[in-house]
Amino acid sequence: MSSLRLGVLAACTSAPQVVTAPWLGARLDRATRPAVVLAFLVAVLGVGVGLVGTGLGRAPFLAVLAVAVMWSVAEPAVMGGLSGVASRSAAGDGRIETADAVSYGVAAIAGQGLVAGVVLFASPVAIVAVLVALGTIGAAAVARLPLLGASSRSTGDRPFRAGIAALVGDPELRAVTVLTTISMSAFGGLALAAVGIAERHGRPPAAGAALVLALACGAVPGAMLARRLGATARPLAAAFVSVAVVGRAFAFAFGPWWLGFVGFALAGFADGPLLAATFASRTARTPPDLRASVYTIAAGAKIAGTAVGAVVVGAVIDGRPRAGITILVAFQLVALVAGAAALRRG
């Protein structure tokens, strides 16, 4: 399958979320039993992974894209909504946001390690089966979480409108959302760019996975040190510094292979505090009954942004291995300029 087709597939799992996220977030903010709703959505993701995985190369590509779009409907609630609902129990000291950020990094490492292990000792079909099984286990685990529900079901459409109003009207939330959405858009094409970097150095495409794994490994200690680095106490400043470091670190990949490896690890280390700072900003500046909406809308925008990155990198990477690095760096620079502009507006 061509890089462009892979980019389009990634976009179909991401782009619809900019539309579905506000709706899903509002329902979570009105849910009296959010754990049950979230468990259902995790199960939907697991089924979606199974259908897309088994359909690739067997079913018509358009049918696979249709399933990817339907699967994407559930993802914002899982990627952002769970964090938003959990933040209602936050003590305001940054601990839950740091732990949340660490969990993302650990999941990235464990997930890639698991997939790599299955690839070595089993077939691609086994990977799909393992991912579906993990989705089922995840759904059962989420259903048992003691998540706080809505205090009242008579909120009407307030979470939907107020969540968007909070993100647009609050200068810090607006700036952090713009900054992280553009910055993370580059990550949609990260795997493809990593393959291009590996090929540029005469290494097999599979070597690009080592770069992505280095980034994930760097994110865990970065997230664990987020509170010590002041990311949760001064989230806006920490977010801007983190994006600047990510951009500079990606530029290391223009050099030798070993330096690119170090650069990806450093980018991951900076991304850990960025995620913790983002969560801390949303928690501090959003009322508890709007947290799911704000987290989910912002997560939907960020994930939809990755669709843009996937398509852009997929369209230009073939035959131009340096292009992927350029895009990774350029997105960070644009994020810094746009984030600063969003902070000053209004």
> Can you list the alpha helix ranges (DSSP code H) found in 286-320?
291-316
pLDDT of 91: 67
Q: Is the separation of the CB atoms in 173 and 293 below 8 Å?
A: no
Backbone angle region of 170, left / alpha / beta, with phi > 0 → left and psi within -120 to 50 → alpha: beta
pLDDT of 210: 86
pLDDT of 288: 85
Cα separation, 193 vs 191, in Å, equals: 5
Q: Is the separation of the CB atoms in 184 and 234 below 8 Å?
A: no
pLDDT of 266: 96
Spell out the CATH class of 3-144+161-344: mainly alpha
pLDDT, mean of each 10-residue run, the chain (346 residues)? 69 77 84 90 86 79 84 79 83 79 80 67 75 88 86 56 85 94 89 86 84 88 89 93 96 93 94 92 88 87 82 78 87 96 82
Cα separation, 86 vs 101, in Å, equals: 13
pLDDT of 154: 44
pLDDT of 263: 95
pLDDT of 179: 96
pLDDT of 112: 66
State the sign of the Cα–Cα–Cα–Cα dihedral 77, 83, 86, 90: negative
Q: What is the DSSP string of 45-66?
A: HHHHHHHHHHHTTTS-HHHHHH
Whole-number Cα distances in Å, 149 to 31, 103, 146: 6, 22, 9
